Amino acid sequence: MAELVFFSGTMDCGKSTLALQTDHNHRVQGRSGLLFTRFDRAGEAVISSRIGLRRPALEVGEDTDLWAEVSGRRAAGQQVDYVVCDEAQFYAPAQVEQLARLVDDLGVDVFAFGITADFRTRLFPGSARFIELADRVQVPQVEALCWCGARATHNARTVDGVMVVAGEQVVVGDVGQLEGTLDVGPVGTVEYEVLCRRHHVRRQTAVTAGHRRPDPEVDLREPVSARR
């Protein structure tokens, strides 16, 4: 039977990578699917992962009717066995209900991937509706880590390295990557960081803790002694 599955976690835990892998696994078995996304870090109409994978996708807008998008294609003779929905936290609750209807009425598998809660630890409306309706809610196996090394459970928004807990719920950016930062003028530069609960409560980011992040350009295969 078809299922509505919600893969939910923090930023930086491999959700988009898993979304693309899920699509690949189904396609190689002869199934046909559609990819949807909203507000991807790389721009419009694309699913991108931080390890460099990306595929074109259909951009979900505020008024997109996902039931009509899929059922219309099927009525026109296009095979749609499943849909993969990335950045699902940004979908409207009504769109989540449309996805559930695809599962129940058309037998289309729905695999959704999204952040559970925002930087204020409040559930995104889309994520909340997925949790309420999904047949299964799963946590990706790859764990994001706080700067202290503990499992990251919360998303933090920072402005010039200092954590903030007020502001618009949706400000698209990335985790600790300069190309993903947002220069918002006199307010400062907005970035995101994943933290364990302890350091989120304390509002202690890597910058304010004086923790130096490793250089992502360093080849980890090179002996430490050779990098000194």
For residue 12, the model assigns a pLDDT of: 82
CA distance 192 to 104: 36
Q: Which of 69, 87, 191, 193 is catalytic?
A: 87
CATH of the domain at 66: 3.40.50.300
Domain that holds residue 159: 154-201
Say whether 87 is catalytic.
Answer: yes
Residue 103 lies in a domain: yes
Residue 118 lies in a domain: yes
**Tokens 């997109």, located at residue:** 64
Asked if 196 and 105 sit in the same domain, the reply is no
Q: Are 147 and 206 in contact (CB under 8 A)?
A: yes
Asked if 68 and 167 sit in the same domain, the reply is no
Asked if 90 and 170 sit in the same domain, the reply is no
Asked if 132 and 171 sit in the same domain, the reply is no
Q: For the stretch 12-30, what's the b/e string if a residue is b when 16 or more beta carbons lie within 10 angstroms of its beta carbon?
A: bbbbbbbbbebbeebeeee
Residue 171 lies in a domain: yes
Asked if 175 and 101 sit in the same domain, the reply is no
What is the residue-level pLDDT of the chain in tens, covering all 228 positions?
999 999 998 888 889 999 999 999 999 999 999 999 999 988 899 999 888 899 999 999 999 999 999 999 999 999 999 999 999 999 999 999 999 999 999 999 999 999 999 999 999 999 999 999 999 999 887 889 999 999 999 999 998 888 998 888 877 655 554 334 444 444 578 889 999 999 999 999 999 998 866 554 434 344 433 333
Residue 11 lies in a domain: yes
Asked if 174 and 124 sit in the same domain, the reply is no
Which among 163, 167, 2 is positioned nearest to 81, based on CA atoms?
Answer: 2
For residue 187, the model assigns a pLDDT of: 58
For residue 17, the model assigns a pLDDT of: 94
Domain count, the chain: 2
Asked if 24 and 130 sit in the same domain, the reply is yes
Asked if 118 and 31 sit in the same domain, the reply is yes
Asked if 93 and 121 sit in the same domain, the reply is yes
For residue 169, the model assigns a pLDDT of: 80
Asked if 119 and 70 sit in the same domain, the reply is yes
